[in-house]
Amino acid sequence: MLCDVMYKSGEILRSTLLGTTATYRVMRDDGDGVLVEVIDAPGLPQGFQMRLTADAARALERVVDKSTSTCCGGFGPASGPIPDG
């Protein structure tokens, strides 16, 4: 059984499109959407907060530390260390 997609405050989400990367920090997941804060995104100021739909959040890459992940036994989209910022 796969775990439900839920995001914890502080988790990092990343999107790479057309040669650019945007990185966001999860502030809150209310089940219908995810409030995120910009860490680094072209055209958006650092610290800018926005709400993503659940579908939009699922489309982003989840950046997790595999050694501390408990959801789904550490399986699923994962890569590298959490970026400083």
Residue 44 lies in a domain: yes
Tokens 């995001």 sit at which residue?
7
Q: In the prediction, which pLDDT does 1 show? A: 31
Domain assignment present for residue 43? The answer is yes
* Largest pairwise CA distance in the chain: 39
Nearest to 34 by CA among 12, 64, 2: 12
Q: Quote the number of domains for the chain.
A: 1
Q: Is residue 82 part of a domain?
A: no
Q: What is the CA radius of gyration of the chain?
A: 12
Query: Could you tell me the residue range of the domain that residue 56 belongs to?
Result: 12-67
Each residue's pLDDT tens digit, 12-48 = 999 999 999 999 999 999 888 999 999 999 999 999 9
- 45-75 per-position pLDDT tens digit: 999 999 999 899 999 999 976 555 555 444 4
45 in any annotated domain: yes
